[in-house]
Chains A and B, each alone.
Chain A
């Protein structure tokens, strides 16, 4: 699976990396239990700072996507965002401002739903 980072983008590199890895999981290119490269080698392969990769890995771990194994790397270990889990609460919290903005700009329920559906299909590679 390829990872492409655009240093000129508005998104910081560490979040681009997070999103690419998540997309890889959704598309099935990365599976539960797959080993990610060590922070050092991924940073070397991409030619970016180790702290950047480290930040992405820790963020992914916090978000319940991977599990970091010190000194060797990280494994894809997905914690399902159940209704009463911390991940669910966090997602709800983080979605709030975006939804608020969409509604303020006049988007109705149907429009928001179709936007969400379109994005879901895109992430699944359909």
Chain B
């Protein structure tokens, strides 16, 4: 079972990484802002191809090696090797990224791509009214389920066995236990609640973050940003719901041991993994489609005098956004699909790291 999961994860990771240069915004190549007029020059295309070919060659070699080798290994070695290979491909991806990022910077400097046009900040006052992110209470809805389950757990406290599971193996069966107490029966729900609160907070701060539009393609970039926000909102909501369902099933199996048979217990985590992976892929493909459809310059204003503000300075290594002046907590990634935090805003760190620390504290001390 483990090897299949690892192979699926590795193939998934490879596909996602290969997709990035294809679906990323044409004006943001390997984290470097390339003005509209240069986005399709041959050197830019060359590095995109280089990245894809080098990445997939190494990655598929790893996967093939893993498939051939694993029959000779025991199960803990299979998991360890799987983790090492996943990490190695990630690091290889990073090395390739930094190489291409450096090359793009060099090309941009040498060829003087910094646009000669006037750089401006721009926004549309009506864009906020068109925002289609889901309301916060929809994203927060699963919290009700957690509260309901907490009540159910406490009212059934006396019927719960004295030893309760705290960890489940890849086969869906519990493999680690603890003694029953009011705290230990609620730990799982507490962890779930922290995650739900984190997702709601991320969702709401994304709403408050900037709707960034482009001076050279106003209507296209506005439509794109609004759809991005909508997809992001739906994605977060679905992930919250799926995590809630998975953990709720585990909680039910604590309250009523043996309520689900072995096949079901095996299926839950697999279905969960499948939904998350497919959801991520659908999200990536939708964003990629948006980039292809709406990135063509529509040139709505017929003014060819302005260009977007070149924010390269705020993007450290093209990966980390650091802008004290921008109140946005979350911004769209420059390289990759999705969002990243504004590192100049400490609240962003708290939102991402805080819940992790809380979960670790809850699970290790309670």
| In the A-B complex, the 10 residue pairs with the closest CB atoms | A44-B210, A45-B123, A49-B325, A5-B121, A44-B328, A45-B210, A1-B125, A46-B121, A47-B326, A4-B122
Q: Mark B106-122, 1 if CB is under 8 A from A, else 0.
A: 00000000000011111
Measured CB to CB, the closest approach of chain B to A118, in angstroms, equals: 22
**What chain B residues lie within 8 Å of A50 (beta carbons)?**
327
Q: Mark A27-60, 1 if CB is under 8 A from B, else 0.
A: 0011000001100111111111110000000000
How many contacts between A and B, using CB within 8 angstroms? 80
B122–A46 touching, CB < 8 Å: yes
**What chain B residues lie within 8 Å of A98 (beta carbons)?**
none
- Point out which of B120, B208, B215, B306 has the most chain A C-beta atoms below 10 A from its C-beta: B120
A47–B209 touching, CB < 8 Å: no
How many A residues have CB within 8 A of the partner chain?
Answer: 24
Chain B residue with Cβ nearest A36: B125
| B126 contacts the other chain (CB 8 A) | yes
Chain A residue with Cβ nearest B301: A2
- Among the listed A2, A8, A30, A49, which residue makes an inter-chain contact with B123, where contact means beta carbons less than 8 Å apart? A2
**How far apart are the CA atoms of A117 and B213 in the complex, in Å?**
35
Residues of chain A touching chain B, judged by Cβ–Cβ distance below 8 Å, are 1-8, 24, 29-30, 36-37, 40-50
The A interface is mostly helix, strand or loop, or mixed, namely: mixed
A3–B125 touching, CB < 8 Å: yes
**How far apart are the CA atoms of A71 and B102 in the complex, in Å?**
44
A5–B326 touching, CB < 8 Å: no
**How far apart are the CA atoms of A5 and B325 in the complex, in Å?**
15
A7–B328 touching, CB < 8 Å: no
B125–A24 touching, CB < 8 Å: yes
| B211 contacts the other chain (CB 8 A) | yes
A4–B124 touching, CB < 8 Å: no
**What chain A residues lie within 8 Å of B215 (beta carbons)?**
4
Measured CB to CB, the closest approach of chain A to B301, in angstroms, equals: 9
Measured CB to CB, the closest approach of chain A to B261, in angstroms, equals: 51
Q: Mark B204-230, 1 if CB is under 8 A from A, else 0.
A: 000011111101001000000000000
- Given A4-B306, A7-B309, A30-B125, CB of A43 within 8 Å of CB of B118: no
- Given A4-B306, A47-B212, CB of A41 within 8 Å of CB of B128: yes
Sample of 23 A–B contacts (CB below 8 Å):
A1-B124, A2-B125, A3-B123, A5-B121, A6-B119, A7-B120, A7-B121, A8-B118, A8-B119, A36-B125, A37-B128, A41-B210, A42-B123, A43-B210, A45-B210, A45-B211, A46-B121, A47-B309, A47-B325, A47-B326, A48-B121, A49-B325, A49-B327
